[in-house]
Protein backbone atom coordinates (compact mmCIF):
# COMPACT_ATOMS: atom_id res chain seq x y z
CA UNK A 1 0.00 0.00 0.00
CA UNK A 2 1.20 3.53 -0.78
CA UNK A 3 0.68 5.14 2.63
CA UNK A 4 2.64 7.85 4.47
CA UNK A 5 5.70 6.52 6.32
CA UNK A 6 5.43 6.81 10.13
CA UNK A 7 8.06 8.64 12.15
CA UNK A 8 10.71 6.65 14.01
CA UNK A 9 8.96 7.31 17.34
CA UNK A 10 5.63 6.15 15.93
CA UNK A 11 7.24 3.01 14.52
CA UNK A 12 8.81 2.25 17.90
CA UNK A 13 5.42 2.58 19.61
CA UNK A 14 3.79 0.32 17.02
CA UNK A 15 6.52 -2.30 17.40
CA UNK A 16 6.02 -2.26 21.17
CA UNK A 17 2.30 -2.83 20.69
CA UNK A 18 2.96 -5.64 18.21
CA UNK A 19 5.11 -7.39 20.82
CA UNK A 20 2.33 -6.98 23.39
CA UNK A 21 -0.27 -8.45 21.01
CA UNK A 22 2.08 -11.28 20.04
CA UNK A 23 2.56 -12.13 23.72
CA UNK A 24 -1.23 -12.19 24.19
CA UNK A 25 -1.55 -14.56 21.22
CA UNK A 26 1.16 -16.86 22.62
CA UNK A 27 -0.52 -16.95 26.04
CA UNK A 28 -3.82 -17.95 24.42
CA UNK A 29 -2.67 -21.11 22.63
CA UNK A 30 -1.57 -19.28 19.49
CA UNK A 31 -4.75 -17.40 18.56
CA UNK A 32 -7.04 -14.64 19.83
CA UNK A 33 -10.38 -13.35 18.57
CA UNK A 34 -10.30 -10.43 16.17
CA UNK A 35 -12.27 -8.49 18.80
CA UNK A 36 -9.39 -8.98 21.26
CA UNK A 37 -6.86 -7.93 18.60
CA UNK A 38 -8.93 -4.81 17.83
CA UNK A 39 -9.29 -4.03 21.53
CA UNK A 40 -5.51 -4.11 22.01
CA UNK A 41 -4.78 -2.22 18.78
CA UNK A 42 -7.12 0.60 19.80
CA UNK A 43 -7.07 0.66 23.59
CA UNK A 44 -3.95 -1.03 25.03
CA UNK A 45 -2.77 1.38 27.77
CA UNK A 46 -0.24 3.87 26.45
CA UNK A 47 0.16 2.10 23.10
CA UNK A 48 -3.29 1.63 21.53
CA UNK A 49 -4.57 4.03 18.90
CA UNK A 50 -6.98 5.80 21.25
CA UNK A 51 -4.90 5.48 24.40
CA UNK A 52 -1.61 6.63 22.87
CA UNK A 53 -0.46 10.20 22.30
CA UNK A 54 -0.80 10.77 18.56
CA UNK A 55 -3.27 13.23 17.04
CA UNK A 56 -6.44 11.53 15.81
CA UNK A 57 -8.61 14.24 14.26
CA UNK A 58 -8.27 17.08 11.79
CA UNK A 59 -5.62 17.79 9.16
CA UNK A 60 -2.81 16.38 11.32
CA UNK A 61 -4.75 13.25 12.26
CA UNK A 62 -6.31 10.34 10.41
CA UNK A 63 -9.90 11.42 9.77
CA UNK A 64 -12.31 14.33 10.16
CA UNK A 65 -15.64 14.11 11.99
CA UNK A 66 -18.83 16.14 11.60
CA UNK A 67 -18.13 18.55 14.50
CA UNK A 68 -14.73 19.37 12.96
CA UNK A 69 -16.37 20.28 9.64
CA UNK A 70 -18.62 23.05 10.92
CA UNK A 71 -20.01 24.60 14.13
CA UNK A 72 -23.42 24.23 12.48
CA UNK A 73 -23.41 20.55 13.46
CA UNK A 74 -23.13 21.32 17.17
CA UNK A 75 -25.53 24.24 16.89
CA UNK A 76 -28.14 21.95 15.33
CA UNK A 77 -27.69 19.36 18.06
CA UNK A 78 -28.12 22.12 20.63
CA UNK A 79 -31.61 22.86 19.26
CA UNK A 80 -32.63 19.26 19.92
CA UNK A 81 -30.89 19.27 23.30
CA UNK A 82 -32.88 22.32 24.35
CA UNK A 83 -36.14 20.57 23.40
CA UNK A 84 -35.22 17.51 25.50
CA UNK A 85 -33.94 19.58 28.44
CA UNK A 86 -37.34 21.30 28.57
CA UNK A 87 -38.89 17.86 29.23
CA UNK A 88 -36.11 16.49 31.40
CA UNK A 89 -33.12 18.05 33.21
CA UNK A 90 -30.34 20.53 32.27
CA UNK A 91 -27.66 17.86 31.98
CA UNK A 92 -25.73 16.56 28.99
CA UNK A 93 -23.39 13.61 28.61
CA UNK A 94 -21.10 12.91 25.66
CA UNK A 95 -19.16 9.76 24.82
CA UNK A 96 -15.84 10.07 23.04
CA UNK A 97 -15.82 13.85 22.74
CA UNK A 98 -12.90 14.06 20.30
CA UNK A 99 -11.18 17.43 20.46
CA UNK A 100 -14.04 18.89 22.52
CA UNK A 101 -15.34 20.77 19.49
CA UNK A 102 -18.86 19.34 19.67
CA UNK A 103 -19.18 20.11 23.39
CA UNK A 104 -17.85 23.62 22.77
CA UNK A 105 -20.35 24.30 19.98
CA UNK A 106 -23.32 22.85 21.90
CA UNK A 107 -22.52 24.77 25.08
CA UNK A 108 -21.89 27.99 23.14
CA UNK A 109 -25.22 27.70 21.31
CA UNK A 110 -27.21 26.83 24.44
CA UNK A 111 -25.62 29.70 26.35
CA UNK A 112 -26.50 32.14 23.56
CA UNK A 113 -30.09 30.84 23.62
CA UNK A 114 -30.33 31.31 27.39
CA UNK A 115 -30.61 27.57 28.08
CA UNK A 116 -28.95 26.73 31.39
CA UNK A 117 -26.73 23.63 31.52
CA UNK A 118 -25.84 22.46 35.01
CA UNK A 119 -23.50 19.62 34.01
CA UNK A 120 -21.87 18.52 30.78
CA UNK A 121 -20.32 15.12 31.45
CA UNK A 122 -17.71 13.62 29.12
CA UNK A 123 -16.70 9.96 29.10
CA UNK A 124 -13.35 9.74 27.29
CA UNK A 125 -10.91 6.82 27.10
CA UNK A 126 -8.11 8.63 25.26
CA UNK A 127 -5.72 10.55 27.48
CA UNK A 128 -4.48 12.60 24.52
CA UNK A 129 -8.01 13.61 23.56
CA UNK A 130 -9.03 14.30 27.17
CA UNK A 131 -6.15 16.78 27.42
CA UNK A 132 -7.28 18.54 24.25
CA UNK A 133 -10.85 18.66 25.56
CA UNK A 134 -9.78 20.20 28.83
CA UNK A 135 -7.94 22.95 26.98
CA UNK A 136 -10.79 23.57 24.55
CA UNK A 137 -13.46 23.67 27.28
CA UNK A 138 -11.55 25.54 29.98
CA UNK A 139 -14.13 28.39 29.95
CA UNK A 140 -17.05 26.04 30.71
CA UNK A 141 -16.93 25.16 34.42
CA UNK A 142 -19.95 22.86 34.10
CA UNK A 143 -17.88 20.31 32.14
CA UNK A 144 -16.86 17.26 34.16
CA UNK A 145 -14.99 14.16 33.01
CA UNK A 146 -16.12 10.67 34.02
CA UNK A 147 -14.39 7.30 33.77
CA UNK A 148 -17.66 5.36 33.67
CA UNK A 149 -21.38 5.88 33.19
CA UNK A 150 -23.49 6.99 36.15
CA UNK A 151 -26.12 4.52 37.35
CA UNK A 152 -28.95 6.78 36.22
CA UNK A 153 -29.22 9.94 34.17
CA UNK A 154 -31.76 12.62 33.28
CA UNK A 155 -31.00 14.85 30.32
CA UNK A 156 -29.44 14.43 26.88
CA UNK A 157 -26.72 12.01 25.73
CA UNK A 158 -24.69 12.37 22.53
CA UNK A 159 -22.29 9.92 20.93
CA UNK A 160 -20.74 10.84 17.59
CA UNK A 161 -18.82 8.02 15.89
CA UNK A 162 -18.50 5.99 19.07
CA UNK A 163 -20.07 2.66 18.10
CA UNK A 164 -17.94 2.14 14.97
CA UNK A 165 -14.73 2.00 17.05
CA UNK A 166 -15.92 -0.79 19.34
CA UNK A 167 -14.24 -4.18 18.82
CA UNK A 168 -16.01 -6.66 16.54
CA UNK A 169 -15.73 -10.37 15.95
CA UNK A 170 -15.22 -11.56 12.38
CA UNK A 171 -17.00 -14.61 10.98
CA UNK A 172 -17.02 -16.29 7.59
CA UNK A 173 -19.54 -18.61 5.94
CA UNK A 174 -18.48 -22.20 5.14
CA UNK A 175 -20.49 -24.86 3.31
CA UNK A 176 -21.15 -26.54 6.65
CA UNK A 177 -21.75 -23.39 8.72
CA UNK A 178 -19.99 -20.35 10.19
CA UNK A 179 -16.35 -20.09 11.21
CA UNK A 180 -14.70 -17.41 13.34
CA UNK A 181 -11.75 -15.50 11.90
CA UNK A 182 -9.21 -15.33 14.71
CA UNK A 183 -5.78 -13.69 14.72
CA UNK A 184 -2.55 -15.69 14.87
CA UNK A 185 1.16 -15.25 14.05
CA UNK A 186 2.66 -16.68 10.87
CA UNK A 187 6.34 -16.05 10.15
CA UNK A 188 6.35 -13.18 12.60
CA UNK A 189 3.31 -11.46 11.05
CA UNK A 190 -0.31 -11.24 12.15
CA UNK A 191 -2.68 -13.30 10.02
CA UNK A 192 -6.17 -14.79 10.15
CA UNK A 193 -6.92 -18.29 11.40
CA UNK A 194 -10.28 -19.96 10.89
CA UNK A 195 -11.80 -21.72 13.90
CA UNK A 196 -15.27 -23.08 14.70
CA UNK A 197 -17.64 -20.33 15.87
CA UNK A 198 -18.51 -20.93 19.52
CA UNK A 199 -22.02 -21.08 20.94
CA UNK A 200 -22.08 -17.36 21.85
CA UNK A 201 -21.10 -16.29 18.32
CA UNK A 202 -23.59 -18.74 16.82
CA UNK A 203 -26.33 -17.18 18.94
CA UNK A 204 -25.31 -13.70 17.76
CA UNK A 205 -25.38 -14.84 14.14
CA UNK A 206 -28.87 -16.26 14.50
CA UNK A 207 -30.12 -13.12 16.26
CA UNK A 208 -28.38 -10.44 14.20
CA UNK A 209 -28.08 -11.71 10.62
CA UNK A 210 -31.42 -12.05 8.79
CA UNK A 211 -31.57 -15.19 6.61
CA UNK A 212 -27.94 -15.95 7.39
CA UNK A 213 -28.31 -19.46 6.07
CA UNK A 214 -28.79 -18.08 2.54
CA UNK A 215 -25.64 -15.93 2.42
CA UNK A 216 -22.98 -17.18 -0.05
CA UNK A 217 -20.07 -19.40 0.97
CA UNK A 218 -17.01 -17.25 1.66
CA UNK A 219 -19.08 -14.36 3.00
CA UNK A 220 -17.22 -12.39 5.71
CA UNK A 221 -18.92 -10.04 8.16
CA UNK A 222 -18.74 -8.55 11.65
CA UNK A 223 -20.58 -9.32 14.86
CA UNK A 224 -21.09 -6.41 17.27
CA UNK A 225 -21.23 -8.01 20.69
CA UNK A 226 -19.21 -5.27 22.42
CA UNK A 227 -21.36 -2.48 20.98
CA UNK A 228 -24.52 -4.39 21.93
CA UNK A 229 -23.18 -4.65 25.48
CA UNK A 230 -22.50 -0.91 25.50
CA UNK A 231 -26.04 -0.21 24.29
CA UNK A 232 -27.46 -2.42 27.03
CA UNK A 233 -25.44 -0.54 29.68
CA UNK A 234 -26.53 2.80 28.24
CA UNK A 235 -30.16 1.65 28.17
CA UNK A 236 -30.07 0.55 31.81
CA UNK A 237 -28.73 3.98 32.79
CA UNK A 238 -31.52 5.66 30.85
CA UNK A 239 -34.19 3.30 32.19
CA UNK A 240 -33.12 4.14 35.73
CA UNK A 241 -33.66 7.85 35.09
CA UNK A 242 -36.85 9.86 34.96
CA UNK A 243 -36.73 11.35 31.45
CA UNK A 244 -33.93 11.38 28.89
CA UNK A 245 -32.80 10.78 25.32
CA UNK A 246 -29.55 9.49 23.82
CA UNK A 247 -28.57 10.24 20.21
CA UNK A 248 -25.95 8.05 18.54
CA UNK A 249 -24.50 9.22 15.21
CA UNK A 250 -22.53 6.81 13.06
CA UNK A 251 -22.15 5.26 9.65
CA UNK A 252 -24.01 2.02 9.18
CA UNK A 253 -27.21 0.29 8.12
CA UNK A 254 -30.22 -1.59 9.46
CA UNK A 255 -29.65 -5.36 9.46
CA UNK A 256 -31.35 -6.14 6.15
CA UNK A 257 -29.09 -3.63 4.40
CA UNK A 258 -25.99 -4.44 6.43
CA UNK A 259 -25.91 -8.15 5.60
CA UNK A 260 -26.55 -7.63 1.90
CA UNK A 261 -25.62 -10.79 0.01
CA UNK A 262 -23.16 -8.93 -2.22
CA UNK A 263 -21.27 -7.28 0.70
CA UNK A 264 -19.07 -10.36 0.81
CA UNK A 265 -16.00 -8.86 2.51
CA UNK A 266 -17.79 -7.08 5.36
CA UNK A 267 -17.37 -3.43 6.31
CA UNK A 268 -14.10 -3.43 8.29
CA UNK A 269 -12.01 -0.36 7.38
CA UNK A 270 -8.85 1.35 8.63
CA UNK A 271 -7.94 5.04 8.56
CA UNK A 272 -4.36 6.32 8.52
CA UNK A 273 -3.43 9.94 7.74
CA UNK A 274 -6.67 10.48 5.76
CA UNK A 275 -6.13 7.29 3.75
CA UNK A 276 -8.72 4.50 4.00
CA UNK A 277 -7.62 0.89 3.49
CA UNK A 278 -8.74 -2.62 4.57
CA UNK A 279 -5.64 -4.01 6.37
CA UNK A 280 -6.08 -4.05 10.19
CA UNK A 281 -2.56 -5.44 10.65
CA UNK A 282 -0.82 -2.37 9.20
CA UNK A 283 1.17 -0.66 11.96
CA UNK A 284 -1.11 -1.50 14.93
CA UNK A 285 -1.62 1.47 17.21
CA UNK A 286 -1.03 4.05 14.47
CA UNK A 287 -4.31 3.66 12.61
CA UNK A 288 -8.00 3.62 13.41
CA UNK A 289 -9.89 0.34 12.87
CA UNK A 290 -13.64 0.59 12.42
CA UNK A 291 -16.70 -1.31 11.22
CA UNK A 292 -20.05 0.01 10.09
CA UNK A 293 -22.78 -0.16 12.72
CA UNK A 294 -25.65 -2.65 12.64
CA UNK A 295 -28.34 -0.28 13.89
CA UNK A 296 -30.95 -3.02 14.21
CA UNK A 297 -28.72 -4.85 16.67
CA UNK A 298 -28.11 -1.61 18.58
CA UNK A 299 -31.82 -0.81 18.81
CA UNK A 300 -32.70 -4.33 19.97
CA UNK A 301 -29.96 -4.30 22.62
CA UNK A 302 -31.25 -0.99 23.99
CA UNK A 303 -34.86 -2.11 23.90
CA UNK A 304 -34.12 -5.41 25.61
CA UNK A 305 -32.35 -3.52 28.42
CA UNK A 306 -35.34 -1.27 29.15
CA UNK A 307 -34.96 1.82 26.94
CA UNK A 308 -37.45 2.95 24.35
CA UNK A 309 -36.44 3.34 20.72
CA UNK A 310 -37.41 6.97 20.10
CA UNK A 311 -36.34 7.25 16.49
CA UNK A 312 -34.01 6.20 13.69
CA UNK A 313 -33.23 8.41 10.71
CA UNK A 314 -30.43 9.46 8.44
CA UNK A 315 -28.16 12.35 9.42
CA UNK A 316 -29.62 14.56 6.71
CA UNK A 317 -33.16 14.22 8.04
CA UNK A 318 -32.02 14.79 11.61
CA UNK A 319 -29.97 17.93 10.89
CA UNK A 320 -32.56 19.45 8.57
CA UNK A 321 -35.28 18.68 11.12
CA UNK A 322 -33.10 20.31 13.78
CA UNK A 323 -32.99 23.50 11.72
CA UNK A 324 -29.46 23.49 10.33
CA UNK A 325 -30.65 25.36 7.24
CA UNK A 326 -32.02 28.18 9.34
CA UNK A 327 -28.83 28.25 11.38
CA UNK A 328 -26.79 28.70 8.21
CA UNK A 329 -28.88 31.75 7.32
CA UNK A 330 -27.64 33.53 10.42
CA UNK A 331 -24.63 34.23 8.22
CA UNK A 332 -25.35 36.83 5.55
CA UNK A 333 -25.16 35.15 2.11
CA UNK A 334 -23.76 38.43 0.79
CA UNK A 335 -20.69 37.84 2.95
CA UNK A 336 -19.35 35.21 0.57
CA UNK A 337 -16.03 34.75 2.33
CA UNK A 338 -17.79 33.52 5.49
CA UNK A 339 -21.00 32.13 4.05
CA UNK A 340 -19.66 29.90 1.26
CA UNK A 341 -17.37 27.73 3.43
CA UNK A 342 -20.25 27.19 5.88
CA UNK A 343 -22.66 26.35 3.07
CA UNK A 344 -20.14 23.89 1.63
CA UNK A 345 -19.68 22.23 5.03
CA UNK A 346 -23.44 21.97 5.53
CA UNK A 347 -23.76 20.39 2.09
CA UNK A 348 -21.25 17.73 3.10
CA UNK A 349 -23.15 17.04 6.32
CA UNK A 350 -26.58 16.63 4.70
CA UNK A 351 -25.99 15.59 1.08
CA UNK A 352 -27.03 11.98 0.31
CA UNK A 353 -23.84 11.69 -1.75
CA UNK A 354 -21.71 12.72 1.26
CA UNK A 355 -22.51 12.11 4.97
CA UNK A 356 -26.25 12.74 4.84
CA UNK A 357 -27.34 9.20 3.95
CA UNK A 358 -24.46 6.98 5.06
CA UNK A 359 -24.55 8.42 8.60
CA UNK A 360 -27.57 7.51 10.69
CA UNK A 361 -28.94 8.64 14.04
CA UNK A 362 -30.42 6.22 16.57
CA UNK A 363 -32.36 7.83 19.42
CA UNK A 364 -33.20 5.83 22.54
CA UNK A 365 -34.46 7.00 25.90
CA UNK A 366 -37.40 7.36 28.21
CA UNK A 367 -40.47 9.58 28.69
CA UNK A 368 -39.59 12.35 26.19
CA UNK A 369 -40.83 13.34 22.74
CA UNK A 370 -38.56 14.30 19.86
CA UNK A 371 -39.24 17.54 17.98
CA UNK A 372 -42.00 17.09 15.38
CA UNK A 373 -39.71 18.05 12.47
CA UNK A 374 -37.41 15.15 13.39
CA UNK A 375 -40.24 12.69 13.98
CA UNK A 376 -41.41 13.48 10.44
CA UNK A 377 -38.13 12.00 9.12
CA UNK A 378 -38.30 8.81 11.22
CA UNK A 379 -37.36 5.48 9.62
CA UNK A 380 -37.74 3.19 12.62
CA UNK A 381 -39.84 0.86 10.48
CA UNK A 382 -36.70 0.02 8.47
CA UNK A 383 -34.91 -1.41 11.49
Question: pTM of the full predicted structure?
Answer: 0.95
Q: How many CB atoms lie within 10 A of CB 43?
A: 18
Task: Report, as an integer, the average pLDDT of 150-168.
Answer: 97
Please tell me the distance from the alpha carbon of residue 162 to that of residue 160, in angstroms, as a whole number. 6
Please tell me the distance from the alpha carbon of residue 202 to that of residue 207, in angstroms, as a whole number. 9
The answer to whether position 196 is within a domain reads no
The answer to whether position 188 is within a domain reads no
Q: Are 194 and 179 in contact (CB under 8 A)?
A: yes
The answer to whether position 201 is within a domain reads no
The answer to whether position 197 is within a domain reads no
Beta-carbon contacts of 20 under 8 Å, excluding residues fewer than 6 positions away, are 40, 44, 47
Q: How confident is the model at residue 359 (pLDDT cuts 50, 70, 90)?
A: very high
What's the confidence (pLDDT) of residue 224? 98
- Helices of type H across 182-248: 199-208, 225-239
Q: Are 224 and 208 in contact (CB under 8 A)?
A: yes
The answer to whether position 298 is within a domain reads yes
What's the confidence (pLDDT) of residue 6? 87
Task: Report, as an integer, the average pLDDT of 272-284.
Answer: 90
- Examine the pLDDT at 55 and tell me if it is beyond 80: no
Please tell me the distance from the alpha carbon of residue 362 to that of residue 291, in angstroms, as a whole number. 17
Q: Are 358 and 251 in contact (CB under 8 A)?
A: yes
Return the minimum-mean-pLDDT range out of 217-221, 230-234, 284-288, 302-306: 284-288
The answer to whether position 190 is within a domain reads no
- Number of domain units in the chain: 1
The answer to whether position 189 is within a domain reads no
The answer to whether position 18 is within a domain reads yes
Q: How confident is the model at residue 58 (pLDDT cuts 50, 70, 90)?
A: very low
Residue 241 structural domain? 1-169+213-383
Which CATH number does the domain housing residue 152 bear?
Answer: 3.40.50.12710
Amino acid sequence: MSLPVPSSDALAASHALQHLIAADIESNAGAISFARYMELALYAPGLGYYSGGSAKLGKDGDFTTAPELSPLFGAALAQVAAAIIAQSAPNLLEFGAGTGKLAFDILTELSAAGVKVERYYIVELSGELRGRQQEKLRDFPQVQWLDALPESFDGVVFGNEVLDAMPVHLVTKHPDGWQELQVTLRDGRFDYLEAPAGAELQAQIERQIPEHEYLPVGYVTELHGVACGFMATLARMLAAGRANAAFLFDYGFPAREYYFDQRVTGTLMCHYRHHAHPDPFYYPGLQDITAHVDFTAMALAAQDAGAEVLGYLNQSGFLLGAGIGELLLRTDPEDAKVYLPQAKAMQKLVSPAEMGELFKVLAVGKAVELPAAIVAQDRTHRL
